[in-house]
Chains A and B, each alone.
Chain A
Amino acid sequence: EIVLTQSPATLSLSPGDAATLSCRASQSVYNYIAWYQQKPGQAPRLLIYDASKRATGIPDRFSGSGSGTDFSLTISSLEPEDFAVYYCQQRTDWPPLFGPGTKVENK
């Protein structure tokens, strides 16, 4: 079973800062990685799929990169609404699996 590791666990930043979140897979998932954003009390929302494609309606300050085992989600300039937990997910291996999440908190 492929294991996903996300780092850091918590990222303390201020509005306007750039954020870089990491997701590492225990073996290659090719480009089959997605990123989701979850705010308190809400369902997750798809941000990025196939490692680098933005989902419908997602602002272009969100970007994804990587392939194989190492992936990144970058938020170019944090808006107040971007403070949330971010999960990566793979669908190369069965069953689909999510990473443990990175919390982006307002410093």
Chain B
Amino acid sequence: QVQLQESGPGLVQPSETLSLTCTVSNGSMNNYYWNWIRQPPGKGLEWIGYVFYSGGTNYNPSLKSRVSISGDTSKNQISLNLSSVTAADTAVYYCVREDLMVATGWFDSWGPGILVTVSS
């Protein structure tokens, strides 16, 4: 069963860039969409965007001007960069696989998440 693990700084300064990495193990990145979804403390889920294994991307229009997602199939890693962060970007960030085999188009595998706090 595929496993996802997010990593990166737990604290980011306001106006700086939030950078996270997701490492995929027990599986390949090929033929899947790889998403980032976030959840502010005590609140609901917000889709950030995805990268396809071949490199195509798509982002939430509400974040598009600040977000960049990339993938490296040789390292089995997905990266998230979110620029000009504010306290509103404080959230648990999840790396999520979008299934294209069985539950096509749905988020079937999630990392445990990483809490990122934006504060000086």
- Interface set of A (CB-CB < 8 Å, partner B): 32, 34, 36, 42-46, 49-50, 53, 55-56, 87, 89, 91, 95-101
Contact = CB atoms under 8 A, between A and B. Distances in A.
Interface residues of B, number: 17
Interface of B: 44-47, 60-61, 94, 102-103, 105-108, 110-113
A53 B105 CA distance: 13
Contacts of A50: 103, 106
A42 B108 CA distance: 14
A53 B103 contact: yes
B35 to A, nearest CB: 8
Contact of A55 (B60, B105, B108, B112): B108
A13 to B, nearest CB: 22
B102 A56 contact: yes
Contact of A49 (B46, B106, B111): B106
Contacts of B60: 95
Contacts of B111: 43
B110 A98 contact: no
Contacts of A34: 103, 106-107
Contacts of A96: 47
B5 to A, nearest CB: 11
A53 B45 CA distance: 22
Contacts of A100: 44
A100 B106 CA distance: 18
Contacts of A43: 94, 110-113
A31 to B, nearest CB: 12
A5 to B, nearest CB: 12
Nearest to B6: A43
Contacts of B105: 32, 91
